[in-house]
A and B are shown apart, each in its own frame.
Chain A
Amino acid sequence: MDASPAIRISQLRKVFGAKAAVDGLDIEVPRGSFFGFLGPNGAGKTTTIRMLMGLAPPTSGTIELLGLAMPEQAVEIKQRIGLVPDESLLFDHLTGAEYLEFVGRLYSLTRAVSRERARELLGLFELDSAGSKLIGEYSKGMRKRVAMAAALIHRPELFLLDEPFEGVDAVGARLMKELLQDLVRNGATVFLTSHVLEVVERLCDQVAIIHDGKLVLNGSISELRAGSETLEDLFVRVVGASAVREHLDWL
């Protein structure tokens, strides 16, 4: 097995106008780990994950995924990663089954294999009955499920998941969590962002917290927590969210 980490980010920077959305990020995610990437809204999580996915070029710094350099070896990397981005990669005028077949073919699976895996994945995510409905008619949770199914169709080694459980019901979320844990047990790596800190606490071995584009904490959850502190306490402490809530008379 390759000894290189699943993800190696070095001095990553992304500037929008005068603002650095990501500012000198250094992260290493070991292979076979379940990694949580946390931060308050607007901290730079989605920008980072978009750069990892090859959807946005960095201003400076380097990205290595599975030992390959991004963007130089982008095609080889993309062939081996599964994506659930926050913004939809879905096409609303395709049915769930058609979309999964389409994605399978983009990952160079044959039409027959794509179709077969699409059928099985729709079954796994309890979307069989919705398989012939247009994605545009899906609920938010169903859209996330079909996006997750699409991320799995080519059996990737690394998953980049941006808010994968958002809008998914308890049954669907449990299914997705168990599936991801199984994948990690079998050697896959998961890099996920989520605002549901209980989920991150339960699933992830390691977390990194980003604030204003800068890495403020990185390590295993057990090492980072002080005493009986929960991940939520740790998060609030680190990002400094201690503003006093003012009362609005009219409310």
Chain B
Amino acid sequence: MAVAFDTRHARAIVWAQWRSLRNRLPRSNKGALAFSILVGVLWYGMFLAMAAAVAGVFADSADFPTTRRALPAAFLVCFLYWQIVPLLLASKGSSIDLRKLLAYPIRPSEFFALDVLLRLTIASEVLIVLGGAFTGLLLNPSLRWWAPFALVPYVLFNMFFAVGIHDLIERLVARRGIREIIALLFIVAIALPQLLVMKASRDHFHRVSELASWIGWPWRATADLAGGQPSAQALVLLLAWTLSAFIFARWQFARTMQFDPAEAGASPRLKRGASRLDWFYRAPGMLFRDPLGILVEKELRTLVRSPRFRLVFAMGFSFGLIIWWPVAFGHSRNTHSFLGDNYVTVVSLYAVMLLSEVLFWNVFGFDRAAAQLYFVAPLKPETILKGKNLAASFFVALEVTMAVGVCALLRLPIALRGILEAYAVTTVVTLLMLSIGNLTSVYSPRAVDPTKSFRTSRSGRVQALMLVIYPVAALPLFLAYGARYAFDSEVAFFGVLALAAVFSGVFYRISMETAVGMAESRKESILEVLSRGQEPIES
């Protein structure tokens, strides 16, 4: 495939994106906009401060021999953050809306170049820190002028690798029936090295550490060159890695261009009669009177059929267990640690965090086709929100149960107290999140495509949101665990948790009333926002 890149189309797409953003801003919810700007400033400010610190350390020629030894590990961390954090959050960053733009005479090579550039949005934090590293290396008087430029091919390597990986995963998860299994296998494969490193003995750890700083890795080659060592071998290796990543990315991108998600997502068999899960969907009808019963039933059906929900739900009790295992148990199951003692609770909270985007923050945006019906049907907004909240609570409880079940199957050291604690803690957190989520859902709705397994919003923005909301939701937990630590008493712990549950219940009631009032007054703007399509670049 030719790599000739005519920039006219790219410029037109970027121009249209810019105009869309400019048109959208005056019509945006001012409060939500201010909040987004605030969390953005906080989040990226943190990385700018980190970049400044890195620049200071890298510019210091006196201590540079020590810094040089840490360079391979530092660049490895950059690679892992760039490639793995998006997977942890099931996010792929901004991407071109191929479904629409494919209709126009744009060469695949142009789409590819744009997609590669958009991979920068998934890891802008790494770029900021690498910018600091570049500045520091440039200012270091003991280094040759070319040393910082070793970071350029390393950034390219990461961009190409990210394109290849994300295209591969996106196609795999579009395949009906096997998407969750494949996505999980892939993610587990990525998490496995961490698991092995953490479970290994000190000797094994040394060996793995040596393996990670093997001369053939791209981060090691980058470190050698950036550290001022004029090594032809390192240069050749780094360029070879970059070229391989480029070929991998082109190959995967070409396959994505020929891929039809509708074909891959089609049912492999013809439908015969009712679904096997029909009894499950119809269960709410036995517990609640209509319209609440049918609303919960509809939520269960919609969520179970949504690839995005299925992916994050499956990740919660599988991937969550794996990534927290080494941190919790370290080298031995007998060693006590806070995370080890509260393993199921930690895994459950991680699962709730993953589910929050689908179940709490934007309930109408995730279900925008039905939003219109909700507002024209003779339904009270409170009933609609209750229906959504009940379905969300059910799935959170199911997620915790699945996590407990898998722990039991794996014979992990968890006690009955730990299981009760997991349910109690997630109940309080879920109640708080539902309260906040009901408000955000009506105050700042956003149209989301539930058929996409990976979200396009930047991981940084999600993390920034976590920085603000999750600490608030976790406050009662800090108090409860603080009480347990201070009084060395389970009664104190569960007592504080019970108080927190009461407080959360009151907060839920108040937030529900506020959300209902807002839903009534903002009905028109909610529907307008939800009916809008996307931009040339989905972000």
Contact = CB atoms under 8 A, between A and B. Distances in A.
Given A90-B533, A93-B20, A94-B20, A107 B105 contact: yes
Given A15-B263, A17-B268, A54-B103, 4 more contacts: A16-B262, A56-B262, A94-B16, A102-B15
Contacts of B535: 91, 93
Contact of A105 (B12, B176, B270, B534): B12
A134 B270 CA distance: 42
Given A55-B103, A94-B23, A18 B267 contact: yes
A228 B532 CA distance: 46
A19 interface: yes
Contacts of B279: none
B9 A106 contact: yes
Interface in A43-84: 53-57, 59, 71, 74-79, 83
Contacts of A79: 105
Given A18-B269, A79-B105, A106-B104, A88 B23 contact: no
9 contacts: A16-B267, A17-B176, A53-B103, A54-B102, A56-B263, A92-B532, A93-B24, A103-B104, A106-B106
Interface in A128-186: 134, 136-137
B533 A98 contact: no
A98 B531 contact: no
Nearest to A132: B23
Contacts of A18: 267-270
Contact of A83 (B20, B21, B103, B267): B103
Contact of B103 (A15, A17, A85, A98): A85
Contacts of A57: 258-260
B276 interface: no
Given A102-B15, A106-B12, A88 B258 contact: no
Contacts of B202: none
A14 B532 CA distance: 30
**Interface size range of chain B in the complex:** 35 or more
B378 to A, nearest CB: 19
Interface of A: 14-19, 53-57, 59, 71, 74-79, 83, 85, 88-95, 98-99, 102-103, 105-108, 134, 136-137
A92 B9 CA distance: 19
B536 interface: yes
Interface in B239-277: 258-260, 262-263, 266-270
B19 interface: yes
With most chain A CB atoms within 10 A of its CB, the pick from B9, B11, B12, B24 is: B12
B270 A19 contact: yes
Contacts of A16: 262-263, 266-267
A146 B16 CA distance: 16
Contacts of A93: 19-21, 23-24, 532, 535
Interface of B: 8-9, 11-13, 15-16, 19-21, 23-24, 27, 99-107, 176, 258-260, 262-263, 266-270, 528, 531-536
Contacts of A91: 16, 20, 100, 533-536
A102 B12 contact: yes
Contacts of B24: 93
Contacts of A59: 263
B26 to A, nearest CB: 11
B433 to A, nearest CB: 30
A75 B262 contact: no
Given A16-B262, A55-B99, A107 B104 contact: yes
B262 A19 contact: no
A106 B13 CA distance: 8
A108 B105 contact: yes
Given A17-B267, A17-B268, A78 B104 contact: yes
Nearest to A15: B263
Contacts of B263: 14-16, 56, 59
A18 B268 CA distance: 5
A71 B103 CA distance: 12
Contacts of B104: 78, 103, 106-107
A240 to B, nearest CB: 21
Contacts of A77: 105
Contacts of B262: 16, 56
Nearest to A59: B263
Contacts of B8: 105, 108
A75 B107 contact: yes
Contacts of A92: 532-534
A56 B533 contact: no
B323 to A, nearest CB: 34
A106 B105 contact: yes
A89 B9 contact: no
A17 B532 CA distance: 30
A134 B267 contact: no
A103 B104 CA distance: 8
Contact of A136 (B15, B105, B531): B531
